[in-house]
Amino acid sequence: MRKYATNIVSTWLVLIVCFAVSGSVSHEIWWEETGKTYGYHLGGYRFLIVVGDDFDHHEMARIKKYWEDWGANVDIAGMERKVMGHILKKTGTGWDTSEKITVKTDVLISQLDLTKYNAIFFPGGKSPENLIAEDSLRVVRLIQNADREGLVLSAICHGPHALAAAGVLKNRKATGHPDVIKGIQESGGEYVMEVYVIDGNIVTGNWPYFETFAVKVAEKLLYPKGGAPRRTSPFDTNLVLKTIKERRSVRAFQDKDVDSTSVKLLLEAASWAPSANNDQPWKFVVVRSRETKDRIHETLMARMKDYYTKQGYPEEAVRRYWSSIFSSPVHIFAFCDTTGIDISEEWEQVDIMHQIQGVTVACQNILLAATALDLGSLWVGALLVIEDEIKALLLVPEELVLVSVIAIGYPAYKPLPPVRRPISDVTFLESWREK
Query: 420 lies in a domain?
Result: no
Each residue's pLDDT tens digit, 259-271: 999 999 999 999 9
More confident residue, 85 or 346: 85
Indicate the SS3 state at residue 316: helix
Which is higher by pLDDT, 30 or 160?
160
Please tell me the predicted confidence (pLDDT) of residue 262: 98
Whole-number Å distance between alpha carbons of 290 and 292: 6
64/210 same-domain check: yes
Q: Which residues of 212-239 are buried (b: 16+ CB within 10 A; e: fewer)?
A: bbbbbbbbbbeeeeeeeeeeeeeeeeee
The CATH number covering residue 317 comes to 3.40.109.10
The reported pLDDT for the residue numbered 119 is 97
With 70 as the cut, is the pLDDT of residue 162 above it? Answer: yes
**In this predicted structure, what is the pLDDT of residue 12?**
35
Q: Which residues contact 364 (CB under 8 A, 6 or more apart)?
A: 273
Residues 6 or more apart in contact with residue 330 via CB below 8 angstroms: 258, 263, 286, 287, 288, 407, 408, 409
Beta strands in 254-313 (DSSP E): 282-287
Assess whether 159 and 191 both reside in one domain. yes
- pLDDT tens digit sequence for 231-240: 888 999 999 9
* C-alpha torsion sign, points 13, 14, 18, 19: negative
Q: Could you tell me which residue, 385 or 421, shows the higher pLDDT?
A: 385
Give the pairing of strands 107-108 and 73-78: parallel
- Residue 180's CATH number: 3.40.50.880
Per the domain annotation, does 422 fall within a domain?
no
Q: Could you read off the pLDDT of 89-134 as tens digits, one per residue?
A: 877 667 888 999 999 999 999 999 999 999 999 999 999 999 999 9
Residue 364 forms part of a structural domain: yes
Residues 176 and 296 in one domain: no
CB burial of 393-409 (b: ≥16 within 10 Å; e: otherwise) equals beebeeebbbbbbbbbb
The pLDDT-based confidence of 35 (bands split at 50, 70, 90) is confident
Question: pTM of the predicted model, to two decimals?
Answer: 0.84
Q: Which of 144-158, 303-317, 385-399 has the lowest mean pLDDT?
A: 303-317
Would the pLDDT of 388 be above 90? yes
Domain boundary among 222, 249, 279: 222
Residue 200 CA to its chain's centroid (Å): 27
- Same domain assignment for residues 184 and 285: no
Residue 231 falls inside a structural domain? no
Q: Is residue 327 domain-shared with residue 186, that is, in the same domain? A: no
324, 203: one domain: no
Q: Has residue 434 been placed in a domain?
A: no
**Considering the domain boundaries, does residue 378 fall inside one?**
yes
Q: Are residues 192 and 245 in the same domain?
A: no
Query: One-letter amino acid identity for 337?
Result: D
Q: Is 49 helix (H, G, I), strand (E, B) or coil?
A: strand
55 and 204 together in one domain:
yes
Q: Are 404 and 282 found together in one domain? A: yes
Residue 26: the pLDDT is 37
240-257 pLDDT, tens digit each? 999 999 999 999 999 999
For 317-327, the pLDDT digits (tens) are: 899 999 999 99
Nearest CA-CA partner of 86 in 121, 52, 136: 52
pLDDT at 14 over 70: no
pLDDT at 3: 42
Number of domains in the chain: 2
Q: What are the phi and psi torsion angles at 54 (to 5°)? A: 70, 35
The answer to whether residue 41 sits within a structural domain is no
Are the C-beta atoms of residues 42 and 72 closer than 8 Å to each other? yes
Assess whether 182 and 209 both reside in one domain.
yes
User: What's the domain range around 127?
Assistant: 46-222
pLDDT at 351 over 50: yes
Local structure of 64: helix, strand or coil: helix
Label the pairing between strands 330-336 and 282-287: antiparallel
Per-residue pLDDT for 357 more than 90? yes
Helix (H, G, I), strand (E, B) or coil at 78: strand
421 lies in a domain?
no
